[in-house]
Amino acid sequence: MTSFSTLLSVHLISIALSVGLLTLRFWLRYQKHPQAFARWTRIVPPVVDTLLLLSGIALMAKAHILPFSGQAQWLTEKLFGVIIYIVLGFIALDYRRMHSQQARIIAFPLALVVLYIIIKLATTKVPLLG
């Protein structure tokens, strides 16, 4: 297995874990389950998300593809999508109760829609806006 394929595997596994953890944490929070506030929910997701970020940066470096360049408009759109996904995830989980229950319930499926767009951009490498 090449280093690129190893990085890609780590990245894909990190994506699956990150989305799974977001979904689990949202469900626990929605059900008002005590595990929603367990210590592991504050430790594991950031570790997985950091691994996801680092593997993404390593893949960009290995492939010599830079966002904000003419050759990688899709990557620029993907990065903006990731930022939107993160914001929607924060709203959906909202541990500080700054947003209403209705806003959290709307933010979660919107985050999943944005995730679908991110995956579509990554697999097709065809920009939506370009």
Non-local CB neighbours of 63 within 8 Å, separated by 6+ positions: 4
Domain count, the chain: 2
Cα distance between residue 49 and residue 122, in whole Å: 17
The answer to whether residues 76 and 33 belong to one domain is no
CA distance 117 to 114: 5
Please choose, from the candidates 18, 23, 20, the residue with its C-alpha nearest in 3D space to the C-alpha of residue 108: 23
Domain, as residue range, for 49 = 1-63
> Do residues 13 and 47 share a domain?
yes
pLDDT of residue 86: 93
Residue 118 and residue 77 in one domain? yes
What pLDDT, in 10s, does the model give residues 17-30?
A: 999 999 999 999 99
Q: pLDDT digits over 32-82, tens only?
A: 999 998 999 989 999 999 999 999 999 999 999 988 888 889 999 999 999
pLDDT exceeds 90 at position 94: no
Query: pLDDT value at position 1?
Result: 66
Stated pTM of the model: 0.87
Neighbouring CB atoms inside 10 A of 75's CB total 21
CB 29 within 8 Å of CB 93: yes
- Residue 121's Cβ-count burial label (10 Å; 0-12, 13-18, 19+) is buried
